[in-house]
Amino acid sequence: MSIGKKLKKFRESHGLTQEQFAYKAGVKRTTYISYENDRTIPDFLVISRIAKEFGVDINEFCDEEIEPKFAVLNAPEVIYNAGANNNKKTLTSEERLLLAYFRTLGDGERKEFFEKIKNDFLDRRCGTNEE
């Protein structure tokens, strides 16, 4: 069952209108309707807000269990130390998406993917990229 159908079934089981449910999810009604109609997929924050609001496990809405490590990647900010001065930086949405994608790969694919990224990075950093 799609996440949109799961949300609709869950909403209806609680006797809420789309507008009421959207309010509890912290999104506009039109945005919520697009979730139910499977036009868009809610992000982790929306799903976690719904789960918290109704006191259910986030995996209620997912096909597979979400690992806690994966959930952290989808958090609004991931803070890390960068540079010699230990400046605090946050990952961009693109960086979080890249990490989330990396976690979907099998072991062999991860190793191959990582080697390519590492080699490209070193080529660029050391100025040996011949493109």
pLDDT per position in the chain (131 positions), as tens? 788 888 999 999 999 999 999 999 999 999 999 999 988 888 777 888 888 888 888 777 776 544 444 444 444 455 555 555 556 666 676 777 777 777 777 888 888 888 888 777 777 767 544 44
Torsions phi, psi for 18 (to 5 deg): -60, -40
Q: Which residues contact 113 (CB under 8 A, 6 or more apart)?
A: 102, 105
Q: Please give the Cα distance from 51 to 55 (Å, whole number).
A: 6
Q: Please give the Cα distance from 49 to 58 (Å, whole number).
A: 9
